[in-house]
Amino acid sequence: LGDLKRLGQVGTGTSGTVWLVKHVKTDSRYALKRVEKKDGKVPQEVQREIQILSENDHPFLMQMVKSMQTHSHMYVLAEYVGGGELYAAMRAISTVFSRQQAMFCVGSLLLMLEALHERNVLYRDLKPENILLDAEGYLKLVDFGTAKKLEAKCGRTFTPVGTAHYMAPEVMRGKGYGLEVDVWALGIVLYELLCGHLPFGENADNPREVCRAVLAGNPVLPQHLEPCARTLIGSLLEPRPRRRLGCGANGLQEIK
């Protein structure tokens, strides 16, 4: 830690504060996440995040450099991605993404999910705020604080985790969910890229209102969308997980 110089705060992750730091000897820049210990122990969710980060081996997934700790805090040093959030890029343009731009983004997200799901890792919070752009415009998935490794590819978990606007209906029903929820979130992001707004609860600030909108279903698909886009979005936002595109026997290959 003594070799790192703080340059400024760049964000707040799921479980801690993230700083831009510079290695004083090499001048290399990194993202440093600081998490406060609880009763002198590293929170279980942080241990889980570090484990998943340490196994990431894909150019579109954030890479961890190392983890360190003091008596009061845990530190995670990771690569720095300085191109800003996809969310900001979406808001910076006066129109929606073109078909080609949306295909590039969704194709990149598919590769991210494929790399995670091959390890039975459920991301659980796929949204534009958790997707950064690097210097060349490629996407990078960050903040693995809510990710969880399942026992098996068909495994289930029950804790309601994620952001309401991107949360699948099965998470809200509380009867267990699996890798399929990441595919639902992919459908929400695709809708947002092509339509410029969210399909459920766009103007709702209360999570309960958003949940009611999601469970009610029937997102409005604008007329300007091409038939293939309408079909793809509808298939990704299928409320029944087993019938959702990308959740069958051929997995994410169905979407490709």
Domain 86-254: give its CATH architecture. Orthogonal Bundle (1.10)
Q: β-pairing, 29-36 with 121-122?
A: unpaired
**What tens digit of pLDDT does each residue of 39-87 get?**
999 999 999 999 999 999 999 999 999 999 999 999 999 999 989 999 9
User: Among 187, 190, 183, which Cα is nearest to 247's?
Assistant: 183
Query: For residue 83, what are the contacts with CB-CB under 8 A and spacing of at least 6?
Result: 132, 133, 134, 135, 137
Range 149-167 average pLDDT: 93
Is 38 annotated as a binding-site member? Answer: no
Range 114-135 average pLDDT: 96
Query: For residue 62, what are the contacts with CB-CB under 8 A and spacing of at least 6?
Result: 53, 56, 78, 79, 81, 140, 141, 142, 143, 144
At 13 the pLDDT is: 66
Query: What CA–CA distance (Å, rounded) separates 242 from 256?
Result: 18
Range 107-112 average pLDDT: 98
**Count of Cβ atoms closer than 10 Å to residue 60 Cβ:** 19
Whole-number average pLDDT of the chain: 94
At 14 the pLDDT is: 66
pTM of the model: 0.93
Query: What CA–CA distance (Å, rounded) separates 76 from 73?
Result: 10
Indicate whether 243 pLDDT > 90: yes
At 2 the pLDDT is: 87
Q: Model confidence at 186, in pLDDT bands (50, 70, 90)?
A: very high
Q: Which of 125, 134, 143, 182 is catalytic?
A: 125
Lowest mean pLDDT among 7-16, 155-164, 214-223, 244-253: 7-16
Query: What residue type is assigned to position 131 of the chain?
Result: I
State which fold the 4-79 domain adopts.
Phosphorylase Kinase; domain 1 (3.30.200)
At 36 the pLDDT is: 92
User: Among 206, 210, 208, 209, which Cα is nearest to 198's?
Assistant: 210
Q: Is 125 noted as a catalytic residue in this protein?
A: yes
Share of the chain above pLDDT 70, in %: 99
Query: What CA–CA distance (Å, rounded) separates 209 from 215?
Result: 10
Burial class (CB in 10 A: 0-12, 13-18, 19+), 187: buried
Range 200-222 average pLDDT: 92
**Count of Cβ atoms closer than 10 Å to residue 97 Cβ:** 20
Indicate whether 198 pLDDT > 70: yes
Query: For residue 187, what are the contacts with CB-CB under 8 A and spacing of at least 6?
Result: 233, 235, 236, 237
Query: What CA–CA distance (Å, rounded) separates 164 from 217?
Result: 14
Q: Model confidence at 26, in pLDDT bands (50, 70, 90)?
A: very high
Query: What CA–CA distance (Å, rounded) separates 242 from 180?
Result: 8
How is the chain split into domains, by residue range? Answer: 4-79, 86-254
